[in-house]
Homo-oligomer: A and B are copies of this chain.
């Protein structure tokens, strides 16, 4: 057999280039040529590892979902059993915000694919809903665990509310409507509004 190459590595190299191209120019800028140039390889190679354009676009989407999911799960696992529900929720939500460059890149790419799915292009649609639904479920569990304020609690509705709020906040950050600092503050305020502003649920302020 001839020289063997780790296909995983090559594919990742290509999908990473696709991400960068999308961030800098949107889906329209994604062509065999632009991706090849960005990855520093020939057009032929992209054809070789993914046959068609649609193929490497879907692969890119998948890789972003996997990366984001993995980071989320890692954060989730890092939470000790002694974490209060509020601490858990806060940690997870902050993990979802585009607070640094890698996350910002992922958020942009997911946003682009999401709009592509909405505007009936052949891209995914149903899979994209799985993640937020899972998040709602997790949040609702944590809210129940918190036995938050009075009787009127509706964990599922609150979980949905938190989910859409964080989604909108992430979008707002991408658009420059919110800074990293104001976003973090807003998440904290959101939790105040949902969980009640019981200070015994909170750690003392860091500064």
Contact = CB atoms under 8 A, between A and B. Distances in A.
Interface of A: 22-29, 108, 111-112, 114-121, 125, 128-129, 132-133, 152, 154, 157-158, 160-161, 163-169, 171-172, 174-178, 182, 185-186, 189-190, 193-194, 197
* Chain A to chain B: the 6 pairs with minimum beta-carbon distance, closest first: A168-B168, A164-B168, A26-B119, A167-B168, A165-B165, A164-B169
27 contacts: A23-B119, A24-B120, A26-B116, A26-B119, A26-B121, A27-B28, A108-B115, A108-B118, A108-B119, A114-B175, A117-B175, A128-B175, A129-B175, A133-B177, A157-B185, A157-B186, A158-B189, A160-B186, A161-B165, A161-B189, A163-B168, A163-B172, A164-B171, A164-B172, A164-B178, A166-B168, A167-B172
Given A26-B121, A28-B27, A171-B168, A157 B189 contact: yes
Contact of A164 (B152, B165, B193): B165
Number of copies of this kind of chain in the complex: 2
Contacts of A27: 26-28
Contacts of A22: 119
B176 A125 contact: yes
Contacts of A171: 114, 164, 167-168, 171
Nearest to A194: B193
Contacts of A166: 168
Given A175-B128, A193-B193, A25 B121 contact: yes
Contacts of A132: 172, 177
Contacts of A120: 23-25
A167 B115 CA distance: 14
A74 B198 CA distance: 40
Which one of A152, A163, A164 has the highest number of Cβ atoms from chain B below 10 Å of its Cβ?
Answer: A164
Given A28-B121, A163-B168, 5 more contacts: A25-B121, A26-B116, A157-B185, A164-B168, A168-B168
